[in-house]
Amino acid sequence: MYKTKNDLPEATRTSLVDLLNRRLADALDFQSHCKQAHWNVRGPSFIALHELFDKVNEDAEDYVDLIAERAIQLGGSVQGTVRVAAQRSTLAEYAAKSDGGKDHVEALSTSLAAFGKVARQAIDQSSELKDADTADIFTEISRGVDKWLWMVEAHQQVDR
The full set of domain ranges for the chain reads: 10-153
Mean pLDDT of 22-27: 98
State pLDDT tens for residues 38-61: 999 999 999 999 999 999 999 999
Whether residue 110 is predicted with pLDDT greater than 70 in this model: the reply is: yes
User: Does the pLDDT of residue 3 top 80, yes or no?
Assistant: yes
CATH homologous superfamily of 10-153 equals Ferritin, core subunit, four-helix bundle (1.20.1260.10)
Bridge partner residues of 42 (DSSP): 100
Q: Which of 151, 133, 150, 152 is nearest to 6 (CA)?
A: 133
pTM value?
0.95
What whole-number distance in Å separates Cα of residue 45 and Cα of residue 18? 40
pLDDT higher than threshold 80 for residue 160: no
For 121-135, the pLDDT digits (tens) are 999 999 999 999 999
The per-residue pLDDT for 157 is 82
Give percent above pLDDT 90 in the chain.
94
Report helix angle 132-153 to 46-73, nearest 10.
170
pLDDT score, position 12? 97
- Asked if 19 contacts 131 with a C-beta cutoff of 8 angstroms, the reply is no
Using only C-alpha atoms, the chain has a radius of gyration, in whole angstroms, of 17
Instruction: Assess whether pLDDT exceeds 80 at residue 86.
Output: yes
